[in-house]
Chains A and B, each alone.
Chain A
Amino acid sequence: MGKALVLSVGGILTAVLNLLFADNLEPWIAWFTTALLDLAVQRLPESQRERFAEEWASHLNDISGDIGKVLFARGCVSAAHEMASLLTYRSPALNQVLKRSREFVKHFLRRLIDVVNTAGTLVFGEDSMLAKGRLAPTNVVPTLLMGLGGFLSRLLFRRSTHRNL
């Protein structure tokens, strides 16, 4: 009885969804697939774009089924990314330096946001020292600078410790 009910509800729901979306879904999928292929082609170096735009369009033409087409186009985006990186070769040493720089900047920004948040809460928050009269407004800037100095020294100390390890 329960199973029959679920099946009936599922059937009605599917029929309603079909009525609602059958006409709209097909053009949307076609548009989405084309957009993905365009994105993939744009990721390629200029010299390769024309070739792969046509090659991938013909491959897409040979695929039956909308989901298959979308998956193919999605794969082309990652293929283009990999192919582009093959053409713009960077030495492993340069890659390492770039990776470390990115990590450093990410870490620095994260910590900076932490410090600004904390200092802001300490100075301007409801229970802050400023609100309680324990801190004069003229002391705010030195307090912030001290916080930033502490953060920078911690960051440098951490990095040198990493290097020693």
Chain B
Amino acid sequence: MGSGPQLTTQTLKILGTLMNNRPDALSGAEIGRFTRLKSGTLYPILFRLERAGWLESFWESETPRELGRPRRRFYRLTGVGAKNAKSGLRDFTSAIGGPAWEKR
């Protein structure tokens, strides 16, 4: 068993997106838009990363009544997550010359 979550290309996409937006937190919808991952792929990865302690999540501060819609939940990298993401992305870049989504 590995110590952290598996670093698939989709996981790296999410980590890369969150790294690029640091220190801001992003909602699931925003991460989905940036990475173009579908909900069936996106949420299990976010869930895994959060359980592994690489991400932390929190609700927006206003209540649904004040907002007039359901609250968004935001995700951001933790210290451990940022460190692991950096090394994961570095390994990936040195292996295949950079993620394709950054070349666009």
Contacts and interface: CB of A to CB of B under 8 A. Distances in A.
A86 B27 contact: no
Q: Chain A contact residues: over half helix, strand or loop, or mixed?
A: helix
Given A75-B38, A86-B48, A86-B51, A58 B43 contact: no
A62 interface: yes
B26 to A, nearest CB: 12
Contacts of A61: 69-70
Interface in A56-106: 56-59, 61-63, 71-79, 82-83, 86
A58 B29 contact: yes
A58 to B, nearest CB: 4
Contacts, number: 63
A79 B42 contact: yes
A127 B85 CA distance: 73
Interface residues of A, number: 23
A54 interface: yes
Contacts of A62: 27, 29, 72
Nearest to B64: A54
B40 interface: yes
B44 A83 contact: yes
A83 B29 contact: no
Contacts of B40: 74-79, 82
Given A61-B70, A71-B38, A86-B51, A55 B44 contact: no
Contacts of A76: 39-40, 43
A51 B38 CA distance: 19
Interface in B22-64: 27-29, 32, 38-44, 47-48, 51, 64
Interface string A28-68: 00000000000000000000000110111111011100000
B90 interface: no
Contact of A59 (B29, B51, B64): B29
A62 to B, nearest CB: 4
Interface in B62-88: 64, 69-73
Interface of B: 27-29, 32, 38-44, 47-48, 51, 64, 69-73
5 contacts: A55-B73, A58-B70, A59-B28, A62-B72, A75-B42
The 7 A-B residue pairs with the shortest CB-CB distance, nearest first, are A75-B39, A75-B40, A58-B70, A62-B29, A78-B40, A79-B43, A57-B70
Given A54-B71, A63-B29, A72-B39, 12 more contacts: A54-B73, A58-B73, A59-B32, A59-B39, A61-B69, A62-B72, A75-B39, A75-B42, A76-B40, A79-B40, A82-B40, A83-B43
